Structure 1
């Protein structure tokens, strides 16, 4: 599938300001190993890139949520927003974190998976409700706090907010998926 042209490309490294170069180098030397996608576009505003990257590093690598839960929440976010780039990147991370291929496929197809793990179930349900209803009802909130605890619930909401920023950046600036792969979300 051919993707529409990206609206705003990353700044040209040859014309980086000193601040852009410093932020680029900081991001590239971290756990991401490079500056791609939304992070590259954010370099147009290096202070936004710096602060967003700090939040992203916390959400991705330092939160109280284990990788399976984080990647599930990220996939749900990418799916709800139809962000192909986000889905493409995080599907692989989700598989490495131990999420089942069948569960990932159900999310891709916009179907609620059957869950045997109450933590995965509540993360999925909170993520869907937060994005679709822009809130969670009292019963879901109580279940989430019972299953995850308050600290992990705070981290989950922070992660959902960060990946909403990622998704909006991808969608508004039309950041294409890597390579020439077919769309995975168009038919789901």
Structure 2
């Protein structure tokens, strides 16, 4: 699939689009890699979504490794080429084991050396598979991370599902992406 969006020229951006771009570029991301050039065609959506994304990526209360693991599970479930390509190196640098990431990417049942990794995986896959989280998994998450962080985990999974949908619908790829982690 090719990118379905018209080319975006920042020189011709509306004031609303410029405000969103400036906020993204001056924030912790510092780049437009991902869904942002899709959302920019609706600046109001872009502004709300990118602010939610900054929260979900950097302030959920989860360690970076666990956030990135949840993002990889989401990318694999949606076969989101760009999402995986952007977050895989971040996840690996944050400590997600190669074998765990590869099992998730290929849809095999992973083995876990870390109980927190297993809990994040069970929570995310339970939600994606059954559209619910079992009482036992929910209780383990609240016991381990607290209620607020568990609520934030749900938000993180929902946000990155929105990212995956955006990337997939518009055929977006990561900057400099040369290979696809999932079959088309």
TM-score where L is the length of structure 1: 0.92
User: Is it true that 1:67 corresponds to 2:59 in the alignment?
Assistant: no
Question: Which blocks of at least 5 consecutive residues in structure 1 are unaligned?
Answer: none
Cα 1:62–1:132 change in 2 (3 A) is: same
Work out the CA distance in 2 between the residues paired with 1:9 and 1:118.
Answer: 45
Cα 1:180–1:43 change in 2 (3 A) is: closer
Corresponding residue of 1:182: 179
1:105-142, CA deviations, whole angstroms, 9 ceiling, x for partnerless residues? 11111112111222111101111111222111222222
CA RMSD of aligned residues (A): 1.5
Corresponding residue of 2:25: 28
Question: Which blocks of at least 5 consecutive residues in structure 2 are unaligned?
Answer: none
Secondary structure at the aligned position of 1:11 is classed as coil
The 8 Å contact of residues 27 and 35 in structure 1, kept in 2 or not, is answered as yes
Work out the CA distance in 2 between the residues paired with 1:76 and 1:70.
Answer: 10
Aligned structure 1 segments of 4 or more residues deviating by more than 6 angstroms: none
Corresponding residue of 1:41: 38
Equivalenced residue count is: 184
Secondary structure at the aligned position of 1:37 is classed as coil
Q: What is the Cα deviation at residue 180 of structure 1? A: 4.9
Aligned counterpart for 2:128 among listed residues 118, 126, 131 = 131
The 8 Å contact of residues 66 and 116 in structure 2, kept in 1 or not, is answered as yes
